[in-house]
Amino acid sequence: MSFDYDMDFKNTDFRENPDLYRVGRGEQGVLMVEPYKSEILPHWRFKTPDIAKESSEKIYDMFLDYKKKDDFVGMDMARKFLQMGYTRSRRYANYKGGKKYDENGEINDRDIDEEKAKSAEIFEEKWIKAREDEEYLKKKKEHQKNYG
């Protein structure tokens, strides 16, 4: 089952109702699923490699804490924030101001920012660790089997 964007996210606590959570693809729902969004988002930063390192380490530590608490939704949301740290850093690394398209809808020329590229590498390392975690993969499979 795909991510349900029509759900009443404002009034749903996914820690209390993990059965309502759908993994979706990639980063789907990353800024909608509470209380996780509010717990993780304040730590999500990628402006410089030092900031990205601190941020990715904090979010990965949160992933591990959710894992200890047997909280799959929290683990998946932390994984999504790590993935989003990578993809947004890459976007800003490739395109000045993060703007891939110009006002006419044409793709802008790439203008590689090495500092942002380093931030992307830092997030990518933690994202891969999270998404390949054996317990995470087992819980993901179980969650999808049980709830879609």
In a domain, 3, yes or no: no
In a domain, 86, yes or no: yes
Q: Is the pTM of this model over 0.75?
A: yes
The number of residues in the chain equals: 148
pLDDT in tens, 96-114: 888 999 999 999 999 899 9
In a domain, 79, yes or no: yes
Tell me how far apart the alpha carbons of residues 82 and 95 are, in angstroms, rounded to a whole number.
20
In a domain, 130, yes or no: yes
- The count of structural domains within the chain is 1
94, 88, 89, 82: which is closest to 128 by C-alpha?
Answer: 82
In a domain, 85, yes or no: yes
pLDDT in tens, 1-17: 566 667 778 789 999 99
Can you give the residue range of the structural domain that contains 42? 9-98+109-147
